[in-house]
């Protein structure tokens, strides 16, 4: 299953507070398209890069960049990036569980973050750029905790990535959605200079990050 257009799916993006939609801006008529999809929420530093990583996964229907984990309603990018709101830059990943499982989605998440860094991710520093898994129910929590334990048992480095309950997810401004597609040159320049690929290869080994 390939990506649905962002403007079509956003109405079903579960601008969620653990199951309840928030009053954020959303078009109508998209909910039925997401009936068969599940949603996973991850923070992994710059949400542009997290979107790109998950968009490449077969079975992922859509990704939406946004903010979650804080106390301010409908925050702006400027507010979050300046710090102090409690929000993380995060991504809602909408996936077809008949094609890709939550466990497999978790594997993609881990391989695209530095789980040893508690101060941000790569060149992006601050609490708003920390890595985290936001779980929506008991099955997600069980799988997330099992995946973290497996890494702790098989890797020689400490895992500081947190597993947190999902709270309201506020979609980011439209220009952030699919940024890597809309601005490929600027995006590649940012990603290279941020050292993301190099650090991921240090942590996980050579891969196409």
> What's the average model confidence in pLDDT over 45-60?
96
Residue 65's alpha-carbon distances to 55, 77, 90, 105, 187, in angstroms, are 12, 11, 6, 16, 15
Q: Are 167 and 68 in contact (CB under 8 A)?
A: yes
For residue 16, what pLDDT is reported? 39
* Predicted structure pTM score: 0.85
Q: What is the mean pLDDT of the chain?
A: 86
Q: Is 49 a catalytic residue?
A: no
> Average pLDDT for residues 155-168, to the nearest whole number?
94
pLDDT at residue 209, as a whole number: 56
CATH number of 6-204: 3.30.1060.10
Helix pair angle (138-154, 102-110), 10° resolution: 40
Show the 3-state SS of 65-116: EEEECCCCCCCCHHHHHHCCCCCEEEEEEEECCCCCCHHHHHHHHHCCCCCC
Is residue 51 over pLDDT 50? yes
Give the residue-averaged pLDDT of 22-45. 65
Catalytic residue among 46, 49, 123, 194: 46
Task: Give the start-to-end residue ranges of the domains of the chain.
Answer: 6-204
CA neighbor of 101 nearest in space, from 138, 62, 58: 58
């Amino acid at each position: 299953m390939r990506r649905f257009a962002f403007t079509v799916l956003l109405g079903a993006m579960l601008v969620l507070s653990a199951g309840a939609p928030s009053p954020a801006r959303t078009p109508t008529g998209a909910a039925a398209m997401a009936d068969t999809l599940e949603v996973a929420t991850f923070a992994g530093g710059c949400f542009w890069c997290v979107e790109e990583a998950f968009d490449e996964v077969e079975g992922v229907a859509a990704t939406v960049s946004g903010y979650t984990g804080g106390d301010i309603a409908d925050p702006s990018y400027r507010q979050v990036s300046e710090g102090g709101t409690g929000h993380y830059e995060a991504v809602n990943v909408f996936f077809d569980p008949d094609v890709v499982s939550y466990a497999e989605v978790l594997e993609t998440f881990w391989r695209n973050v530095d789980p040893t860094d508690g101060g941000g991710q790569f060149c992006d520093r601050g609490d708003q750029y920390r890595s985290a898994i936001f779980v929506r129910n008991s099955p997600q929590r069980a799988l997330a905790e099992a995946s973290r334990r497996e890494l702790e048992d098989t890797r020689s480095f400490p895992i500081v990535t947190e597993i947190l309950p999902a709270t309201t997810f506020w979609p980011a401004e439209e220009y952030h959605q699919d940024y890597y597609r809309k601005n490929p040159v600027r995006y590649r320049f940012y990603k290279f200079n941020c050292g993301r690929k190099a650090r991921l290869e240090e942590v996980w080994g050579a891969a196409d990050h």
